[in-house]
Structure 1
Amino acid sequence: MIWTKGMTDRAIKLTDQGYTHAKTAAMLSDEYSANITGNAVRKRLKRAHHSEQPAEASVQFNDDGTQTATALFMLKHEPDKSPETLMRLCGYDPEKFDMVSGDYKVYEQHSTKDGTVPQYSIHVRVKPKSGINAQELVMILNKGIKPINIKQANGGDHNLVIPLFDLHFGITTFDSLRPELNELCNIIGQGFDHIVVEVGGDLLHSDYMGKTQTVHGTQLDHADTVKAWEDAKWFIDDLIEYAITNAQHVSVYAVGGNHDFDMQWAFVEGLADRYEQVDVHNTIHYRQAYRIGHVGILMAHGDVALKKLPMLFANEDSDVWANTKWREIHYGHFHHEVVNDDGGVIMRQMGTPKPADGYESKNGYTMAHKVMQAFEYSDDQLKVTYNIGGGADER
């Protein structure tokens, strides 16, 4: 492979921003449609006389278990200001450490060889992460698991989509959702060609095991996350196993929420190992589209880029868009139902049966109908909307 100056400069900039050789190689491969390895990046940077090592570095171990590090860099590009980048530049893996505080200052350094080059003094205070990360959790949960094989006993011609948005297990319990689960199983028992279970984010109330906080660290009312996992597992397992029995094809599509982005990803990964008969489509992206027959559906949690979703659907998932006649967008986040036809795309904001937590009770967010829904489609249009837990079906 022939390196161009543009590729080299881009590799230097990415490395200066704290990306590893492997991550830099992956980004360059995508940007330049080439097959670049991390080792090739390392060799190229060496030939370009680029060093990612700090000119000076010091580390102090504090009595409270934190570590303080200061590093000096002569960089040609300003580094990314994210905590992850600052930690990487000081030699800390963001997967294993949390940043308590950090900053950097810029000085001008002059040399006869390079001229005037900015020198960055980067200072971070970090602490080791407590507990385990999502990937380690998946490995622990799935160790020794034998896949479940279930015999199909029923089927049909139509397709069924079951959106599960904002269930917030930890506040919601398996026992509180037994009536909704029974209703869903009665619907599934009619028999379908394809059943899709949408896990639309905030399946779990907290993104942590030992504390109750959102992805961004917002403190929440206390929830027992271990019990939340157990309740979610019982509910999802019962739903999937009944779906396998009564449909020729079963799929799970998932996007993370602002409460549980990492933890839900780990939970859904476990489903793929338990149920080989189910097509599990997990992602760390904020949106995911799919089609069943000539019906196209875009999923998003709803907390970001909400007004852009119809155009994002058409642009990011043009293959789904082009090969469907009926298009819908499913999202949640706001905990109440709204339906809108936006230029031929049905926007469905999903409600939730979740009981009110302390924050919602305090602010009066308690008046929405506590309902779930399921949608039955023919090959190219919606046929039936089922209201679950909130009254009669809408036909």
Structure 2
Amino acid sequence: MIRLNWTDEQKNRIIELSKQGLSSAKVAQQMFDEYGTNFSRRTVARFIATGQTSSRYKGNPNTKTKDVKRGTEIVINKDGSTTSSTTMQMTEEQAKDPDFVLRAHGFNPDDWDIVSARNNFWQQNSVENGLIDLYQSKITVKPKIDNDIKRAVEVLTRDIKPLKVKHSLDSSRKRNLVIPITDNHWGITHLSDVQDKLSELLDIIKQGYGTIVIEMIGDMLHSDKINSTETVSGTVLEDVDMPKAIDEAMQFTEAIVVTALENANTVMIKSVGGNHDFDISYMFIIWIKERFKQAQVDVNNRYRTAYLLGHVLISIQHGNVNKKNPAQILANECRHLWGIATTTEIHSGHLHFDKTEDQNGVVFRQFSTPKPSDDWETMNGFVGSNKLMYALEYNDDRLKVEHFI
């Protein structure tokens, strides 16, 4: 078998990097970056420990084998993984080194994990080097999720202790306020996009109300995943920074909930998931429940829910399902509430434009979104809807004031 001769410069550089506290994997990566040569992590570790390489490469590690026609086929899979196929020259030891194989395929071991790998061995005569070992190497890799997941967990668990808000009852507060929040798509939307609208909404809340209901009607977050940008059904979307999106969604939500607790006798938070964020929004609502113990938070994984506000029955659903006859479904599922109510409304979003319709006494309110147009909407020309937020004032039995923000 063949033996690798490292130059004194390379050996000294490895020792220097090791003294800086770098792991053998990071030393191997740095050596690849500086010299363009794949250094096995195991061999580097052995050299650091014993001063011996015991590798099987022959001669100058920069020698290229002219006989080998090397091409790499890259396939990006629907599940977010990447498959790479190529022919390469390596030793049996290097074929067992995940970091070496990743670098040989052009992937940084710090950023990618191997899902599966297959290396088929054969030998071939080389004009310059005689008989050489070749491998047909095929690997499937996925981006490491540790960093993004860690960032997201840090965001979601930061200051998770319950927030105590100065909360007092005021019998003069007669009217109720409903704040529908739908299709914010945090990640596409940023705080800077809605700062003025948020300030106006907080001014309305500060007028004081008996009950404030915050309706979370779905697609609050653009993606249902952290490391990739996909809907709950797996539709791939344009990339967004999800840890940042979660952080901004938390800041936005906290501003509204805190102000509501300071200016209402009762604060309720109702929620349903959307077609983008059904799973991750469930976790987000759990954070809201733990963070704001003074609010009445409805944690559920349903597609629709309903509540009674005085004698006003309100159902919320995202709007992507149950489109055929939602009023009849509401009457069947909430018969007792239906019988008490003098006014019935169904609140939804999903389609990103404003529409209000009275169907046989049931008022359907479809709300717009304040989000900027994303690339898909711009491409298809869906850019004409108003970018709105809303606040609805009710007395005991009907809507009295509608704020368009």
Q: TM-score range by the shorter chain?
A: 0.5 to 0.7
Q: 2 CA distance for matches of 1:260 and 1:253?
A: 16
Q: 1:358 to 1:175 in 2, by over 3 A?
A: same
Could you tell me whether the CA contact under 8 Å between 1:154 and 1:245 is conserved in 2? no
Q: 2 CA distance for matches of 1:138 and 1:383?
A: 42
1:47: which partner in 2?
A: none
Residue 241 of structure 2 is aligned to residue 220 of structure 1 = no
1:152: which partner in 2?
A: 167
- In structure 2, stretches of 5+ residues that fail to align are 1-80, 84-115, 117-140
Paired amino acid for 1:321: W
Could you tell me whether the CA contact under 8 Å between 1:207 and 1:259 is conserved in 2? yes
Q: 1:295 to 1:130 in 2, by over 3 A?
A: farther
1:31-68 per-residue CA deviation (whole Å, 9 max, x = no partner) reads: xxxxxxxxxxxxxxxxxxxxxxxxxxxxxxxxx999xx
Q: 2 CA distance for matches of 1:128 and 1:218?
A: 17
State the number of aligned residues: 266
Residue 173 of structure 2 is aligned to residue 173 of structure 1 = no
Residue 291 of structure 2 is aligned to residue 301 of structure 1 = no
1:323: which partner in 2?
A: 340
1:282: which partner in 2?
A: 299
Offset, 1:130: 7.7
Offset, 1:352: 0.6
1:269: which partner in 2?
A: 286
1:59-138 equivalences under 5 Å are: none
1:176-203 per-residue CA deviation (whole Å, 9 max, x = no partner) reads: 1111111111110110000000000000
Q: 1:208 to 1:176 in 2, by over 3 A?
A: same
Q: 2 CA distance for matches of 1:334 and 1:284?
A: 21
Paired amino acid for 1:151: K
Q: 2 CA distance for matches of 1:301 and 1:322?
A: 24
User: What TM-score do the two structures reach when normalised by structure 2?
Assistant: 0.62
Could you tell me whether the CA contact under 8 Å between 1:138 and 1:270 is conserved in 2? no
Offset, 1:152: 2.4
Offset, 1:292: 1.0
User: What TM-score do the two structures reach when normalised by structure 1?
Assistant: 0.63
1:381: which partner in 2?
A: 398
Q: Secondary structure at the match of 1:152?
A: coil
Q: 1:284 to 1:128 in 2, by over 3 A?
A: farther
2:156: which partner in 1?
A: 141
Q: 1 CA distance for matches of 2:142 and 2:383?
A: 39
Q: Secondary structure at the match of 2:324?
A: helix
2:373: which partner in 1?
A: 356
Q: Secondary structure at the match of 1:307?
A: coil
1:21: which partner in 2?
A: none
1:332: which partner in 2?
A: 349
1:205-234 per-residue CA deviation (whole Å, 9 max, x = no partner) reads: 000000011111111111100110011000
Offset, 1:128: 10
Paired amino acid for 1:381: R
Q: 2 CA distance for matches of 1:305 and 1:149?
A: 38
Pick one of 297, 309, 312 that aligns with 1:292. Answer: 309
Offset, 1:131: 5.1
Q: 1 CA distance for matches of 2:199 and 2:160?
A: 27
Paired amino acid for 2:163: I
Q: 1:347 to 1:142 in 2, by over 3 A?
A: same
Q: 1:210 to 1:128 in 2, by over 3 A?
A: closer
Could you tell me whether the CA contact under 8 Å between 1:204 and 1:264 is conserved in 2? yes
Offset, 1:308: 1.7
List 4+ stretches of structure 1 deviating above 2 A: 127-132, 137-145, 152-155
Residue 207 of structure 2 is aligned to residue 190 of structure 1 = yes
Deviates more, 1:240-249 or 1:213-222: 213-222
Offset, 1:349: 0.6
1:76-126 per-residue CA deviation (whole Å, 9 max, x = no partner) reads: xxxxxxxxxxxxxxxxxxxxxxxx9xxxxxxxxxxxxxxxxxxxxxxxxxx
Q: Secondary structure at the match of 1:212?
A: coil
Could you tell me whether the CA contact under 8 Å between 2:347 and 2:366 is conserved in 1? yes
Paired amino acid for 1:150: V
Q: 2 CA distance for matches of 1:282 and 1:139?
A: 22
Offset, 1:146: 1.9
Q: 2 CA distance for matches of 1:354 and 1:322?
A: 37
Q: 2 CA distance for matches of 1:352 and 1:330?
A: 13
CA RMSD for the aligned pairs? 2.8
Residue 238 of structure 2 is aligned to residue 230 of structure 1 = no
Q: 1:144 to 1:282 in 2, by over 3 A?
A: same
Offset, 1:370: 0.7
Pick one of 235, 246, 270 that aligns with 1:253. Answer: 270
Paired amino acid for 1:373: Y
Offset, 1:174: 1.1
Q: 1:186 to 1:270 in 2, by over 3 A?
A: same
Could you tell me whether the CA contact under 8 Å between 2:155 and 2:247 is conserved in 1? no
Offset, 1:253: 0.4
Offset, 1:319: 2.1
- In structure 1, stretches of 5+ residues that fail to align are 1-63, 67-99, 101-126, 389-395
Larger Rg: 2
Could you tell me whether the CA contact under 8 Å between 2:356 and 2:366 is conserved in 1? yes
